[in-house]
């Protein structure tokens, strides 16, 4: 019995010795194959917790940061920055990249209020130490549709089926491509659904609806924003209105009405476009309230209104008073529409008011008055984001270029016709025709 116990003890001792030897060998191999890591900054050891993977860290490294913006461009706003959650070494002042010699033109883009912060007194965010220019272009009514149940040979609906979307604005597209922002008035519903027109208790009455794909006529010609605060945007009720907004946003454009102010930014300078109906003088107060919001988020405020009597070349006195009231309350530019003909501009207290810029690409009539304009305002902004100067430009255009409406606006080249349009817009004569 004693011999048996002695034998067992020896066996256990051998096993323990073998295990200890194996552990020692494993430790030596571990040191050879996995030497201690050190922090390259100060040489201190780094604790190894590699057996546990931090899922948040992996997400921050592997997931791209996507900036939500209606513009399809992936460029960041000049005022925004994105920082990784991973700690990084800040460059010393001597190693910072010098961007002062970068000659790439500043980028401009439409944006939503979500990315526009309230402006502060003395707010300076311009990256470029030099002054820069911003050019805005405005056109009149765009009806990219044919009246309900009025399809005929040569109608806009027929043209839209047969022509490429680029056809309609190809003669003026270079102007829109050369400016910073182009804003128009879209006066029809865009939807692919079979919606019923709303009831209208007056005659004649019109309803304009087109496929959602017609938005390509605008987005494909470098148009960034559109007013929809007009009398046709709800021709097919709330559902048609929502579908139109979806089509506009889906094309990377902005829209403006009494519920939404458009904001456009370049080089840190923000321009707001307040869009609203103006069917009576009293509505100026509603627009002024919208302007108060816009002023908190922008340097320059444009009011673009829709209203007044159709087919008259002189603005009503109530409309003059309303527009001037907007200037008295801080509007930097006022642009009107709806009469379907041109109305002149005036300068009131140093601010331009254009009472109507007429029709443009207009599917509502086979022979509308064939005179219109592209109205432009160019701003010069100094390095401190202050408006240094402004200059307007009126480009006389035809609404169509054939005997009947071919829905293709073009620049007027005839000097006599051009002069008559310009003289009318400056109030020197009573009609542009």
Backbone region of residue 404 per phi and psi (left: phi > 0; alpha: psi in -120 to 50; beta: other values): beta
pLDDT reported for residue 128: 55
Contact 373, 358 (CB under 8 A): yes
Confirm whether 25 is domain-assigned: no
Confirm whether 409 is domain-assigned: yes
Domain hosting 185: range is 110-425
Confirm whether 103 is domain-assigned: no
pLDDT reported for residue 12: 61
Regions of the chain with pLDDT less than 50: 1-5, 28, 31-106, 121-125
Confirm whether 181 is domain-assigned: yes
Q: Is 132 helix (H, G, I), strand (E, B) or coil?
A: strand
* pLDDT tens digits along 215-230: 999 999 999 999 999 9
pLDDT reported for residue 149: 84
Contact 288, 329 (CB under 8 A): yes
Contact 101, 129 (CB under 8 A): no
CA–CA separation, 179 vs 186, rounded Å? 19
- Residue 394: CATH number of its domain: 3.60.21.10
pTM (2 decimals)? 0.74
Number of domains into which the chain is organized: 1
Q: 132-143 and 372-381: which strand pairing?
A: antiparallel
Number of H helices, E strands in the chain: 9, 18
pLDDT reported for residue 13: 60
Q: Going by C-beta distance under 8 Å and a sequence separation of 6 or more, which residues neighbour residue 67?
A: 74, 76, 77, 80, 82, 115
Cα→Cα distances 168→19, 40, 236, 250, Å: 87, 63, 25, 20
The count of C-alpha atoms lying within 13 angstroms of the C-alpha of 109, restricted to the half-sphere facing its C-beta, is 20
- Rounded to the nearest integer, the mean pLDDT of the chain is 81
pLDDT reported for residue 14: 57
């Amino acid at each position: 019995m004693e011999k048996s116990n002695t034998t067992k003890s020896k066996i256990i001792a051998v096993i323990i010795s073998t295990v200890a030897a194996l552990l020692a060998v494993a430790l030596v191999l571990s040191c050879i194959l996995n030497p201690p890591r050190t922090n390259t900054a100060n040489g201190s050891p780094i604790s190894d917790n590699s057996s546990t993977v931090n899922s948040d860290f992996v997400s921050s490294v592997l997931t791209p940061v996507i900036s939500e913006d209606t513009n399809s461009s992936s460029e960041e706003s000049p005022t925004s920055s994105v920082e990784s959650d991973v700690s990084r070494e800040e460059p010393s002042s001597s190693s910072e990249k010098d961007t002062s010699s970068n000659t790439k033109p500043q980028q401009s883009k439409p944006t939503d209020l979500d990315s526009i912060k309230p402006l502060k007194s003395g707010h300076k965010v311009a990256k470029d130490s030099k002054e820069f220019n911003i050019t805005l272009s405005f056109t009149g009514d765009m009806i990219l549709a044919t009246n309900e149940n009025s399809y005929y040979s040569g109608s806009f609906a027929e043209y839209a089926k047969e022509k490429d979307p680029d056809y309609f604005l190809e003669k003026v597209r270079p102007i829109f491509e050369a400016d910073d922002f182009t804003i128009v008035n879209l006066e029809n519903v865009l939807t692919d659904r079979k919606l019923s027109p709303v009831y209208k208790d007056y005659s004649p009455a019109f309803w304009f609806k087109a496929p959602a794909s017609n938005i390509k006529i605008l987005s494909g010609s470098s148009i960034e924003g559109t007013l929809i605060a007009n009398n046709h945007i709800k021709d097919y009720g709330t559902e048609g209105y929502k579908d139109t907004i979806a089509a506009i946003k889906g094309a990377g454009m902005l829209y403006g009405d009494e519920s939404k102010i458009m904001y456009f930014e370049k080089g840190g300078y923000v321009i707001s476009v307040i869009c609203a109906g103006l069917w009576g003088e009293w509505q100026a107060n509603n627009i002024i309230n919208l302007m108060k919001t816009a002023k908190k988020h922008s340097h320059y405020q444009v009011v673009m209104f829709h209203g007044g009597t159709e087919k008259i070349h002189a603005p009503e006195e109530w409309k003059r008073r309303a527009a001037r009231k907007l200037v008295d309350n801080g509007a930097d530019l006022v642009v009107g529409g709806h009469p379907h003909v041109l109305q002149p501009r005036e300068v009131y207290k140093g601010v331009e008011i254009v009472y109507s810029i007429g029709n443009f690409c207009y599917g509502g009539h086979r022979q509308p008055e064939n005179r219109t304009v592209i109205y432009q305002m160019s701003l010069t902004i100094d390095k401190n984001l202050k408006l240094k100067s402004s200059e307007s430009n009126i480009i006389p255009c035809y609404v169509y270029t054939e005997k009947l409406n071919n829905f293709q606006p073009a620049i007027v080249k005839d000097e006599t016709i051009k002069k008559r349009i310009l003289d009318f817009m400056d109030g020197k004569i009573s009609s542009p025709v």
